Amino acid sequence: MLLVQPLIVQPLLLPSLGRVTSQVSVRPLARAPLTCRSRLLVSLADDDNLNGYRELGLAEDATYDEVMDAFMSLSETYSDDAERLLTLELAKNKVIDERLKQRMSGSLNAKVSSPFDAPPVVRTPPWVYAKRVAKRCAKPFAMPTVQHAKACVPLLGCMTVAKLIAPRTVLLGTLLMLVNSGMLIYSRNTDPVPRDEYGQVGEIRPLKRKPVALTVFFIVSCYFGSVLTAARAALLLPIFSLQTYQTLCIGISLILATLFLKAHEVFERDD
């Protein structure tokens, strides 16, 4: 009676060979049918033709843990097939033997490369980041055209003078200046609104969130900055009243903002 026991590979240079084939019970060859024993003998005799990776369903770069996991899983699946179990055992041993030979010869490439083999880290110079930040910060600024200046300066200048002449209209005039300045900043660099033959607006365009938010930020910043500047000017040069300084500072800041700031063509997407 011929007894064939599973091949056992010594745990040379293998990380975790403790969970080997002791968990799988392989039927002795004597208990298998005659056809099974004959096929196994042919398989053992023709060992070179057995593809261990194909039998285990693995790629040729599989790790040792992957080999053992595949072997244990397939052994549980084919626990009632003695021929299949012995074939899996033979395939597993052949793969491990091949890996040992590759490692001993130095031809085995590890999946995890050495940190000394990693490519050098390319560090971006700080002036490159500074240039990017400066370019991004310069997007909201634009030189005014003559047509745009004619639309901004006379309107806001006349409203500022009206507030100085009639101090009672300061609150209403300031509110109108803020609204008109926001409209001038938001509508800059946009297509003109089509109008009919009577001068009425023939199209209503939806507002875009990012330009609207940027416009509100500009207007609010100009207003509070002007109020703080007027308070300091009234303390340093108490020639005029605080209200007069506020009117002048708000008018000048809004005129400069409408001339040199824009809300469109700043973001990659405005909506």
125 vs 18, residue with greater confidence: 125
Q: Give the whole-angstrom CA distance, residue 44 versus residue 178.
A: 92
Mean pLDDT of 135-148: 90
Q: What residue ranges do the domains of the chain occupy?
A: 17-105, 140-260
Give the percent of the chain with pLDDT over 90.
31
Q: pTM here?
A: 0.54
Does position 7 have pLDDT exceeding 50, yes or no? no
With H, G, I as helix, E, B as strand and everything else as coil, classify residue 2: coil
pLDDT for 261 equals 93
- Distances from the Cα of 252 to the Cαs of 32, 177, 196, 205, 216, in angstroms? 101, 11, 35, 30, 18
Can you give the C-alpha Rg of the chain in angstroms?
42
pLDDT for 41 equals 47
pLDDT for 100 equals 80
pLDDT for 202 equals 60
**Phi, psi for 25 (deg, rounded to 5):** -95, 115
pLDDT for 258 equals 94
Site of tokens 């060979």: 17
Does position 54 have pLDDT exceeding 70, yes or no? yes
Does position 119 have pLDDT exceeding 80, yes or no? no
Give rounded-to-5 percent helix, strand, coil for the chain: 60, 0, 35
For the ranges 12-16, 147-151, 240-244, 252-256, which has the lowest average pLDDT? 12-16
Confidence of residue 83 (pLDDT cuts 50, 70, 90): confident
